[in-house]
Amino acid sequence: MLDGKKVIFSGMQATGNLTLGNYLGALKNWAQLTDEYECYYCVVDEHSITIRQDPAVLRKRARALLILYIAAGIDPEKSVLYFQSHVSAHAELAWILNCYTYMGEMSRMTQFKDKSAKHEDNINVGLFAYPVLMAADILLYQADLVPVGIDQKQHLEICRDIAERFNNIYGDVFTIPDGYYGSTGAKVMSLQNPEKKMSKSDENPNASIYLMDDTDTIMRKFKRAVTDSLGVIGYGPEQPGISNLIDIYCACTGKKVEEALKEFDGRGYGELKMAVGEAVCGQLAPLQAEVARLTKEKDYIDRIIKNNAERAAYTAGKTLRKVQHKIGFPDRIR
C-alpha cells in the first residue's frame, strides 16, 4: 500500500479479439478506479500460452492490449501497466503456490472443464494450474480488490482459499483480495444466444461486438441481436435478450435499469436496438481513435513498457522474497 491507498490488481489475456464484454466487464471499471487506488493492470501473456498461440500474433496482440489499456484512460504514470512475462516473480510464486493447491480444487474449475472440452488435443498442465498463476498475480501485489467480470468469480475464490491456507501456516503473508464487479456489464451476454456470455472465442462473429468493430458493423450486429416474441421491453429471466440490451445500454450510459425501462416504455425492440448500438459506438469510437494515435507513438510506448515492468518487479519482488523466507528458502547474501 503506497500513500495509504488500497491496491488493485487485474489482468486480461491478449488472445482473440477483445469484446464489449471485456470492456464493460473489466476495462471500463479499471479506468474509473485509478485515482482512488494504487493499480496494477497486467497483460497476462503467460496465461495465454495455455492454449497454443502463433508467436508473432501473440507478441503483436500483447502490445496492442497494453496500448488499449492506456487508450481506455489508464494513466501509465500513475498506474502500473506491464506484461506478465517481464516480471519473473509471477512464475516463481505460481510454482510455490502450486505446492499449496490441491488437484481436486483445480479439477472443479469450470473454465478448466470448458477449455479442456474445447481443446481436447492439448489439455496441458498449464491449463490445469491456470488459476494458481492467477492467484500468484493477485497476491504478489497484496491486492485488496480485483475488478473482473462474473466469469472470473470462481478463480478469485480459489485465490482467496490459497491465500488463507498459506496465511494459516505462515502468518499474515498475503492480503485476502475481494472481487469487484460492476453493477451493470459484469456479464455481457452473446447477441445471438443471450443465455451464453459474450466471448472472444465464439465462432459466430455476430454474437460479439469486437472493440475494433466499425460503426456500421456494430449497428448491424445490434439490429440482428436475438430478442423474443413478447414485444414489450422488460427486464428479467424471461427476457434474456432484451435484458442484455438494457444492461449494455446502462453500462455505456451510466443510467440505472429502472431509468432505462422508463425511457423505453411503450417503444419497440427496433428502437431499443438502435439506441444501444449508438450508445456502444459512442464508447468505442473515441477508444479506437486513441488506439490509432498511440500505436504510432512507438518510443513513448516502449518507455512505458520498460519503466512499468521495473515498477511492478519492485513490488512483486518484495512479496516473493517474504514468501521465500517464510517457507524456508535460504536468504540471499547481499
- By beta-carbon proximity to ligand TYM, the closer residue of 138 and 250 is 138
155 in Cβ contact with 134 (< 8 Å): yes
Kind of pairing, strands 80-83 and 145-147? unpaired
Would you call 200 a catalytic residue per the annotation? yes
Report the distance separating Cα 20 and Cα 324, nearest Å.
40
Residue 72 binds ligand TYM (CB under 6 A): no
Positions in 19-38 near ligand TYM (CB under 6 A): 21-22, 25-26
Mapped onto helix, strand or coil, the DSSP state of residue 83 is strand
- By beta-carbon proximity to ligand TYM, the closer residue of 190 and 239 is 190
Report the distance separating Cα 311 and Cα 304, nearest Å.
10
Residue 47 binds ligand TYM (CB under 6 A): yes
The CB-of-320 to ligand TYM minimum distance in angstroms stands at: 16
Report the distance separating Cα 88 and Cα 267, nearest Å.
55
Residue 241 binds ligand TYM (CB under 6 A): no
Place of cell 482467496: 160
Residue 94's identity, in one-letter code, is A
Choose, by CB under 6 A, the member of 28, 115, 187, 273 that binds ligand TYM: 187
Report the distance separating Cα 171 and Cα 30, nearest Å.
31
Choose, by CB under 6 A, the member of 6, 106, 116, 151 that binds ligand TYM: 151
> What cell numbers appear for 11 in the block?
489482468
Out of 115, 187, 221, 273, the active site residue is 115
Choose, by CB under 6 A, the member of 7, 10, 158, 180 that binds ligand TYM: 10
Positions marked catalytic = 115, 197, 200
User: Footprint of ligand TYM on this chain (CB under 6 A)?
Assistant: 9-13, 21-22, 25-26, 44, 47, 134, 137-138, 146, 148-149, 151-152, 155, 186-188, 197-198
